[in-house]
Structure 1
Amino acid sequence: MSFRVVLIHGFHGSYRDMEPLRENLESLGYRVENLNFPLTFPDIKYSEKILKEFLLDLKYGGHTEKEEIVLIGYGLGGKLIERTLRDKGVKGIVDKVILISAPLKDSVIHRRLNRVFPFLDRIFKPLSILDKNGKFRLDKNIEVGVIIGTEPCGIFKRWLGEYSDGVVSVKECTYPKAKDRLLLPLVHSEIHQKMGTAKYINNFIAKGGFRIK
């Protein structure tokens, strides 16, 4: 079995944010695609279209059943994955999803900032998908792994409580249906850039769990 890994960055970012992870995974022998999305101002639908078209190109462009497709979403990239995979046209293409510090519904920071700046989501439109009443769902046939940072730091840490990475809390990122969950003592900005994280990802992809006993 071979694997095609696809990296999806978060809000107000670009593919450059994921370059350390790409390099680390490639050093471990993976074929990696590092995609770029307009995740700052345009509606999230533009990014969904980009990801959908990429997945359809894989499906009809020579992708074989012996190659598993793994999507790795960092931050808001996790919600982008979930929303894109709702489309029946891409059903069955993706085999595994790994979420890194990805808020699955709303976040404390987003809610509090919205109270102060009620126009926030009209400017930074991708943030509007963080709905406190929304449900995060992925196809039951997709193996899901969740990586969450636990090193609180930064100006927002007092809003998030003890268990957070300074941007999102463990509770906000927990997916009950995940096959495995990994807590790492790292901050939000570095968790996806460490070689150690890449090695845990390798374990999940190849063995089905982050920590191999």
Structure 2
Amino acid sequence: MKEKIKIILIHGFSKNSKDMKYLKNELCKRNYSCVAIDLPLTFKKMEINFEIFRNKMTEIINNLEEGEKIVFISHSAGGFIVRNFLILEEYHNLIKSCILIAPPNQGSIFANFFYKYTPLRLFCKTLEGLTTDNFKDLEVYREDKIDIGVIAGNKDNILLGKIFYDEMGDGRVSLESTKLENSKDHIIIPYNHHNIHYNKEVIELIINFIKQGKF
């Protein structure tokens, strides 16, 4: 009997659910049930995004079919949302796995600069929650009870990327920042931050992780 899976897609900073449309469409073609969630990951503080996401997930969980399990797939800052939700232990038995694509797991140097030195901090309230200093204080899942896979990019061809990072990365997030101590698998593919979740290679990696717990 085929395992019942509900895939939850979470976009990154300054985006909306449309940015996850490619992943959703391709996974639906492979008969997965998918939900792409919209969050105010630009103008609202990270704590408000956490609350909104929890409320939306409560509704989704209440409507799960019997035996259906959840798989989270996030891009960039959406990984913070996922890892915050995972601290709610009462839902652990409903979660199969999580796949974080290009996640700034240690916080974002980009966010540090734009929050500290530009007026963006006045209206882009999410920025503060993405800074490296603030991330240290965020309550996020750090255990290893749930399978977490990380897909990182190493094509640094985005404007300003090389200015901010000396080490290799995807033009927005360094490879070092994508590392997560409790991840079950971590893979690097040749894409930048903007296109890493728009290719068939990442689709195959996602399916592998869902089925096998590894890429």
Contact 2:74 2:100 in 1 (8 A): yes
Map of 2:125 onto structure 1: 125
1:187 to 187, 192, 195: 192
Separation in 2, partners of 1:76, 1:209: 22
Structure 1 contact 79–104 (Cα < 8 Å) conserved: yes
Whole-Å Cα distance in 2 between the matches of residues 200 and 27 of structure 1? 16
Deviates more, 1:102-111 or 1:134-143: 134-143
Summarize the Cα distance change of 1:176–1:77 in structure 2 as closer, same or farther, 3 Å threshold.
same
How far does residue 73 in structure 1 lie from its aligned partner after superposition?
1.1
Question: Helix, strand or coil for the counterpart of 1:190?
Answer: coil
Which of 201, 207, 213 in structure 1 is aligned with 2:206?
201
- 2:132 counterpart SS class: coil
CA shift in 2, pair 1:121/1:104, >3 Å: farther
Aligned partners of 1:162 and 1:55: how far apart in 2? 36
Aligned to 1:83: 84
- Provide the residue aligned with 2:147 in structure 1: 143
Counterpart residue identity of residue 61, structure 2: K
How many angstroms apart in 2 are the aligned matches of 1:86 and 1:32? 22
Q: 2:165 — aligned with what?
A: 160
Aligned equivalents of 2:148, 2:84: Cα separation in 1:
15
The percentage of counterpart residues that share the same residue type is 25
For 2:166 and 2:27, the matched residues in 1 are separated by 32
Aligned residue runs from structure 1 range 92-111, under 5 A: 92-111=93-112
Gaps of 5+ in 2: none
- Partners in 2 of 1:203 and 1:110 — Cα distance? 32
Structural RMSD (CA): 1.9
Q: Residue deviations 1:151-175, cap 9 Å, x none?
A: 0012222222341111111111111
Counterpart of 1:105 in structure 2: which amino acid? Q
Matches of 1:28 and 1:91, distance apart in 2: 25
Task: Quote the offset at 1:86 in angstroms.
Answer: 2.7
Change (3 A) 1:90 1:121: farther
Equivalent position of 1:48 in the other structure: 50
Matches of 2:94 and 2:73, distance apart in 1: 14
Q: For the residues of structure 2 that align with 1:4 and 1:32, how far apart are their CA atoms?
A: 6
Distance 1:50 1:75 in 2: 18
- Cα distance between partner residues in 2 of 1:71 and 1:127: 23
Over 3 Å counting, the alpha-carbon distance change for 1:122 and 1:95 in structure 2 is: farther
Does the 8 Å CA contact 1:152/1:162 hold for their aligned counterparts?
A: no
Q: Is the 8 A contact 1:109 1:156 kept in 2?
A: no
Which deviates more, 15-24 or 121-130?
Answer: 121-130
